[in-house]
Amino acid sequence: MDGISRRGFLKAAGGAAIATTLGADAAVATATSAPPAAAPSMAALPRRARRRYAIVGTGIRGSTQWGASVLARHGEAVELVGLCDVNRKRAEVVRGRLGVDVPIYTDLDAMLAQAKPELLTVTTVDATHADCIVRGLEAGVDVITEKPMVTDEAQCQRVLDAQRTSGRRLTVGFNYRFARKHRRIKEVLLSGVIGKVTSVDFNWYLDVNHGADYFRRWHRLRSRSGSLLVHKATHHFDLVNWWLDADPVEVSAFGNLRVYGKNGGYRHEQCRGCPHASKCPFFWDITKDRGSSELYVACEGEDGYKRDGCVFREDVDIFDTMNLAVRYSNGAQMSYSLNAAMPFEGYRLAFNGEKGRLEVRDHDRQPWTPERPTEIWLTKSFGQREAIEVENVAGGHGGGDELLLDQIFAKPDLPEWLRVPGVRDGALSCLTGIAARKSIDERRLVRIDELVRGI
């Protein structure tokens, strides 16, 4: 690793050391049953030959996290050999931004055959992930996919089967697990201080900026994103599966579209040229955003994709208001909600245990300045409430973006519970959302094992 990536890595991994404010018995339990995520010895890491690396889907995520960040942090581990996007112009913009001289492809099979990558990252539109993953695996390539791994159960079966048959590694980019605050929650749960978790209360809020943005883009269509129950909530369901170390078993859900789409009193195709711009609180002038203008507006001629679409278009067919009940393999139950038109962003989370309760209030983006961005409280039954310290780590998604890359590309020696998420994690998190969608459509309780075989 070079000096920059080594420093960045040690900063991220060093943040994993436990700074516990738990009571004495909890601290003992933490020390014995939850090995701290100590910084690995970088000297012990073997130097490997650079792996041939390619990206399919050169939008914002492909070009930043899986392009610029990978090359900056782990340029010694990979050699970029190809970029692929159905929009050639966008791939060209990204090639220029990355400052690399690599071939551009609009056909994934051609890139696999000619550029011969050993590692492929999939950052395309969600509904196309499965196809790209399977093509990569079948070509004998290890694949990293952005979440969600799939958007329906048929795709899920295909990916599970292809991974098994190919024997190649499939990694799912669940950066949220690697955020310091989320590792801190896992450490407390592993310590056993609240005993077995009996239930989880989880409410996620997306605001009228970030939340609304999903309704501007391809995400507004189920056929592209699988709905926010899959596109967004796959992160949350993965966290819960990981925190509980359990699988979802059955799901019951309600969903509704109450603010965006058909609910608007006016609409236009897109914000540019909209006659309602002066009165619309969702108006966004993309031309004032140079980065988005280059990446999307300048590339519209290729595929007609409008990044600043109207949030009130009548074709919006996803929900903005969702409530679920989920039962897990360890007997725990969860009530979960996702609301996408809130005045602020963040979440409320609680683990109710046999011996106490762990509560989290996360203030991600607020119109006010919160005292602390994340508050975690532990209350032991018959005891007092105490604060659990969690440092605010700089970086993308609470530092999760950087640590995920380090886990994948530097392969440090970290505890088993911080392993890189794989195909099973990708499947189970998506299946919770897919089951919820089915439950809403068919107005019934849906079992996960009715969706796929052999998971």
Ligand X SMILES: NC(=O)c1ccc[n+]([C@@H]2O[C@H](COP(=O)([O-])OP(=O)(O)OC[C@H]3O[C@@H](n4cnc5c(N)ncnc54)[C@H](O)[C@@H]3O)[C@@H](O)[C@H]2O)c1
User: By CB under 6 A, which span of 37-45, 79-87, 164-172, 244-252 interacts with ligand X?
Assistant: 79-87
SS3 186: helix
Query: β-strand 385-388 against 345-353: which pairing, if any?
Result: unpaired
Per CB under 6 A, does 87 bind ligand X? yes
Q: Please give the distance of CA 121 from its chain centroid, rounded to a whole number.
A: 14
Residue number, 124 or 374, with CB nearest to ligand X: 124
Per CB under 6 A, does 425 bind ligand X? no
Position closest to ligand X via CB: 59
Q: Which of 30, 123, 191, 432 binds ligand X (CB under 6 A)?
A: 123
Residue number, 79 or 213, with CB nearest to ligand X: 213
**What is the distance between the alpha carbons of residues 427 and 438, in angstroms, rounded to a whole number?**
16
Using CB under 6 A as the binding rule, the residues of this chain from 386 to 415 that contact ligand X are 397
Min dist. Cβ of residue 311 to ligand X (A): 16
Q: Which of 74, 77, 85, 448 binds ligand X (CB under 6 A)?
A: 85
Min dist. Cβ of residue 447 to ligand X (A): 26
Min dist. Cβ of residue 292 to ligand X (A): 9
The angle subtended at Cα 443 by Cα 439 and Cα 447, nearest 5°, is 40
Question: Residue 148 gets which letter from DSSP?
Answer: P
Min dist. Cβ of residue 86 to ligand X (A): 4
User: By CB under 6 A, which span of 10-18, 54-62, 179-187, 381-389 interacts with ligand X?
Assistant: 54-62
- DSSP assignment of 15-68 equals TTS----S-HHHHHHHHHHS---PPP-GGGSPP-PPEEEEEE--SHHHHIIIII
Token duo for residue 50? 């650079």
Residues in Cβ contact with 329 at an 8 Å cutoff, skipping those fewer than 6 apart: 246, 247, 248, 249
SS3 324: strand
Across the strands, what pairs with 79?
Answer: 52
Total of chain residues touching ligand X, rule CB under 6 A: 23
Min dist. Cβ of residue 310 to ligand X (A): 17
Across the strands, what pairs with 348?
Answer: 203, 361
Per CB under 6 A, does 30 bind ligand X? no
Residue number, 157 or 175, with CB nearest to ligand X: 175
Min dist. Cβ of residue 384 to ligand X (A): 36
Q: Which of 95, 121, 126, 398 binds ligand X (CB under 6 A)?
A: 126
Q: Are the C-beta atoms of 349 and 364 separated by less than 8 Å?
A: no
Per CB under 6 A, does 58 bind ligand X? yes
Per CB under 6 A, does 162 bind ligand X? no
**What is the distance between the alpha carbons of residues 350 and 363, in angstroms, rounded to a whole number?**
15
Q: Which of 8, 15, 59, 353 binds ligand X (CB under 6 A)?
A: 59
Q: Which of 16, 18, 54, 56 binds ligand X (CB under 6 A)?
A: 56
Residues in Cβ contact with 45 at an 8 Å cutoff, skipping those fewer than 6 apart: 1, 410, 411, 412
329: left (phi over 0), alpha (psi -120 to 50) or beta: alpha
Instruction: Kindly write out the interface string for residues 358-377 of this chain, putting x where it contacts ligand X by CB under 6 A and - elsewhere.
Output: --------------------
Residue number, 146 or 362, with CB nearest to ligand X: 146
User: By CB under 6 A, which span of 71-79, 124-132, 136-144, 203-211 interacts with ligand X?
Assistant: 124-132
- Tell me, letter by letter, the H, E, C secondary structure of 101-123: CCCEECCHHHHHHHHCCCEEEEC
Min dist. Cβ of residue 372 to ligand X (A): 23
Per CB under 6 A, does 146 bind ligand X? yes
User: By CB under 6 A, which span of 80-88, 247-255, 359-367, 447-455 interacts with ligand X?
Assistant: 80-88
**What is the distance between the alpha carbons of residues 400 and 12, in angstroms, rounded to a whole number?**
9
Measured CA to CA in angstroms, residue 25 lies from 350, 358, 390 at distances of 21, 16, 19
- Count Cβ atoms below 10 Å from residue 161 Cβ, excluding itself: 15
Per CB under 6 A, does 155 bind ligand X? no
Using CB under 6 A as the binding rule, the residues of this chain from 217 to 256 that contact ligand X are 231
Per CB under 6 A, does 128 bind ligand X? yes
For 197, phi and psi rounded to 5 degrees? -80, 125
Per CB under 6 A, does 199 bind ligand X? no
User: By CB under 6 A, which span of 52-60, 71-79, 341-349, 436-444 interacts with ligand X?
Assistant: 52-60
Per CB under 6 A, does 57 bind ligand X? yes
**What is the distance between the alpha carbons of residues 454 and 373, in angstroms, rounded to a whole number?**
41
Residue number, 146 or 207, with CB nearest to ligand X: 146
Contact positions vs ligand X (CB under 6 A): 56-62, 84-87, 90, 123-126, 128, 146-147, 173, 175, 231, 397
